Structure 1
Amino acid sequence: MSQTQTWEKLEGNEGTLTINVPAKEFDKALDEAFKKVSKDVQVPGFRKGKLPRQMFEQRFGVESLYQDALDVILPHAYGKAVEETGINPVDQPEVEVEKIEKGEDLVLKMTVTVEPEVKLGDYKGLEAEKVDTDVTDADVDEQIEAMVAQYADLVVKEEGEVVEGDIVNLDFEGLLNDEPFEGGKAEGHELEIGSGQFIPGFEEQLIGLKTGDEKDLDITFPEEYHAEELAGKPVVFKVKINEIKQKETPEFNDAFVKEELEGFDADTAEGVRESIKKDLEAEKKEEADFKMKESLVSQAADNAEIDVPEAMVSTEQDRMLQEFEQRLSQQGLNLELYEQLTGQGADAMREQMKEDALKRVRTGLTLSAIAEAEGITVDESDVDNEINKLAEQFNMPTEDIKKVLGDLSVLKADVMNQKAIDFLVENQK
């Protein structure tokens, strides 16, 4: 006799999974539990690990093996039951032991939260707002100005006032209730006006000052400032302007292109303009395509009726926090250091991510439902094509990509979602 199981759907996203494990299998689990436990049992007259099973049960009772036997049998029994019933759990089950006795069938009753049913609304014939993809001369000029600014020289401003964009060398000291506070003093600090490096109000009050000027700046720290003793507090910064430097940018012409832009795919100013325009056009079209798809997916998800389990949102929050940690590590930071710098810990970040996490879950469920409704499938060639793209993108052999990915189920789900999105695009107004 083999294991049997029944699934009873309850209200919402929960159901009861009842598993009957044959006595023979349960007895095997008891044997494994005894082997594990007996290694550490010391009884006078017997070497450790050599106590006979019968004597162990007489002394400690067979019930002392039940929990370890459950630990042995539960993962396999639960996995098999899930596969046999075809349910899709989204959280760890609550396990209740209905019957447990040596020589008898083991009966387990589990409360399981499963993936919710999706009642699709309108998803065909949706309409996405048209995004302007035209590139103007002003767009190109802005890019050129930013590029040329990288080659600017800093020149001391002998006369004149501080204006936005200047680099100011200054001394400052902050006072809270006429007393200096920690971290509020510096000498010879260089600050670009308009960079937003300092708290709001500081840089703005330096505009109009001249070299040698001194001034008291009245500043109020933001309420959310990471240093609690300063958050929301009014302070005075005593500042002195030591030196003002201004940026002198070179003229954008053929000579500049030949001297500074060696290796660029154009050797004249007009050629560079055309190249930048083409790049901007490609970027705008890509951005418009992304926004169009995002709009269609968002509409389809909003039109669907889904009772999203809290467990799925929590799992997505964990995933988003992990993604954020990975981005921090690429910058040489970690969550602990980030919290010291910003005053924002992991719990606060998870809470901020909750709304986006819910949106992600709703989107994924909607796309899966659309794929099922439209008979969209993913075959081996689809997966191979995606792996080949990744191999080309990261300049790695396909076998190495497969090793990095390991389980391909996530990749398959991504491909399925993309096919569902393509369906929305093909069937929009």
Structure 2
Amino acid sequence: MQVTETLNEGLKRAYELILTAEELDAKVNAKLAEAQPEIEMKGFRKGKVPMPLLKKQFGQRLMGESMQEAIDEAMSKHFEDSGDRPALQPEVKMTNEDWKEGEDVNVAMSYEKLPEVPEVDLSGVEIEKLVVKADDAAVDEALASLAETAQDFNDRAEGAEAQDGDQVVIDFVGKVDGEAFEGGAAEDYPLVLGSGSFIPGFEEQLTGVKAGDEKAVEVNFPEEYGAENLAGKAAVFDVTVKAVKEPVAAEIDDELAKKFGAEDLEGLKGQIRERLEAEYAGAARQVMKRGLLDKLDTLVTFDLPPSLVEAEAKQIAHQLYHEEHPEDHGHDHGEIEPTEEHNSLAERRVRLGLLLAEMGQKAEVEVTDAEMTQAIMNQARQYPGQERAFFDFVRQNAQMQQQLRAPIFEDKVIDHIAEQAKVSEKEVTKEELQTAVEALDEE
């Protein structure tokens, strides 16, 4: 096949590929000759069907296959010989669309190649790693929160009115049009006012009730209510209040610790301290990572494939539009035109993405099967009861696998770079770390 370069401008490349009629005919004949021994046809013994008859019967189908194979082979050889790596799938099309059998096949191929990424000397790169120790105050604050989640309820004084946050123990019967409906009744039901566990308007009407009160609670089921026979209907619940109880935080002692799987209070404090410091370390890593990427961004410059930058800018603009318009859940808002700010951010992301990919490849960084399995399992937990289906979906979806693999690969490359850079630790307070994390979102 003849390959002629027609464009060489920056990272843009274009070529004309000509598959001659003789080459195509030879490929078709070779395929027929290979298949001939196994072909049976009425009036002929197996393997004895004449070639002209085979060509008449199967030639048209094999011609299409041969064209595609020849073009694929020519493209593979071109990329192998040139060393070019296309940024996106090359655009390939026939230029003589009125082609007839016996004519040459003319094909145009164009693409943007990935740039040569320069070497980066990391020995002079200095980055700062923030370190936060979980002090006693932070541990005590977390303990108090745990005690609230383990709270109990004690009876209020006789005649006391129920307040928001109190637990009322009630019997109730719900009716629509005067008729009780299935699932609308219960006895000794413990309802925490303000929890939002009942339909809107129900709990608010029980604020101020006392033990022994009887009350008709009037509500409307939401239009989107799960039970179609109740959706949008007005209902009345006959409620009898049997007890009013106030919340009481659990005692911070060994018994509380045992509820959360620790042997004693000191053991629970140790677990909390470890958890807090792990959270701080995760946040500090994000700050360090941003600082490292900022340094890398100043160390290298190289041409970027316009198609990658354009696609990234459109993605950024689309994402930010939905963040600013959370009420718009659809995608019929038309194309969002990227701004200069979007384009600048896209250039940074593409440049750093290509740089990290190159550095990771040279360092032979790989994502293991165990790391991928763990990532899939973590994602699957977002779909309770459908974990197996999600796992199978990812296994069969290469694009989804790449979405999960990319951040793992990037983090491993960041670790590799940090090992070669000069990292200094700086101890800061929890508040200072929080300020640094918040600053990440503002940039």
TM-score by length of 1: 0.55
Please name the residue that 1:16 is paired with: 14
Structure 2 residue corresponding to 1:213, chosen from 212, 215, 233: 215
Cα 1:170–1:79 shift into 2, 3 Å: farther
Cα 1:238–1:107 shift into 2, 3 Å: same
1:160 lines up with 2:156 in the alignment: no
Is residue 42–residue 48 contact of structure 1 (8 Å, CA) maintained in 2?
yes
Please name the residue that 1:76 is paired with: 73
Identity across the alignment (%): 19
Deviation (angstroms), 1:164: 2.2
SS at match of 2:352: helix
Structure 2 residue corresponding to 1:283, chosen from 279, 282, 295: 279
In the TM superposition, 1:275-354 aligns within 5 A as 275-294=271-290, 297=293, 307=306, 309=308
| Post-superposition CA distance 1:321-343 (Å, at most 9, x none) | xxxxxxxxxxxxxxxxxxxxxxx
Aligned residues: 362
Please name the residue that 1:334 is paired with: none
In 1, Cα distance between the equivalents of 2:361 and 2:38?
53
In 1, Cα distance between the equivalents of 2:80 and 2:373?
36
Please name the residue that 2:352 is paired with: 367
| Post-superposition CA distance 1:12-33 (Å, at most 9, x none) | x864243355777644542466
SS at match of 1:284: helix
More displaced stretch, 14-23 vs 248-257: 14-23
Deviation (angstroms), 1:54: 1.6
Is residue 202–residue 217 contact of structure 2 (8 Å, CA) maintained in 1?
no
Cα 1:289–1:372 shift into 2, 3 Å: closer
Is residue 168–residue 241 contact of structure 1 (8 Å, CA) maintained in 2?
no
Is residue 165–residue 193 contact of structure 1 (8 Å, CA) maintained in 2?
yes
SS at match of 1:16: strand
In the TM superposition, 1:49-128 aligns within 5 A as 51-57=49-55, 59=56, 65-85=62-82, 86-91=84-89, 93-96=91-94, 98=96, 106-112=105-111
In 1, Cα distance between the equivalents of 2:235 and 2:295?
51
Is residue 368–residue 416 contact of structure 1 (8 Å, CA) maintained in 2?
no
Counterpart residue identity of residue 142, structure 2: Q
Counterpart residue identity of residue 252, structure 1: I
In 1, Cα distance between the equivalents of 2:296 and 2:417?
11
Counterpart residue identity of residue 367, structure 1: L
In 2, Cα distance between the equivalents of 1:359 and 1:165?
54
1:145 lines up with 2:141 in the alignment: no
Deviation (angstroms), 1:282: 3.5
SS at match of 1:87: coil
Deviation (angstroms), 1:161: 0.6
Counterpart residue identity of residue 162, structure 2: E
Please name the residue that 2:251 is paired with: 251
More displaced stretch, 138-147 vs 197-206: 197-206
Is residue 4–residue 19 contact of structure 1 (8 Å, CA) maintained in 2?
yes
Q: CA RMSD in A?
A: 6.4
Cα 1:365–1:64 shift into 2, 3 Å: same
Cα 1:248–1:127 shift into 2, 3 Å: same
Bigger radius of gyration, 1 or 2?
A: 2
Cα 1:89–1:376 shift into 2, 3 Å: closer
Is residue 171–residue 242 contact of structure 1 (8 Å, CA) maintained in 2?
yes
Please name the residue that 2:382 is paired with: none
Deviation (angstroms), 1:83: 3.3
In 2, Cα distance between the equivalents of 1:299 and 1:96?
46
Deviation (angstroms), 1:216: 3.2
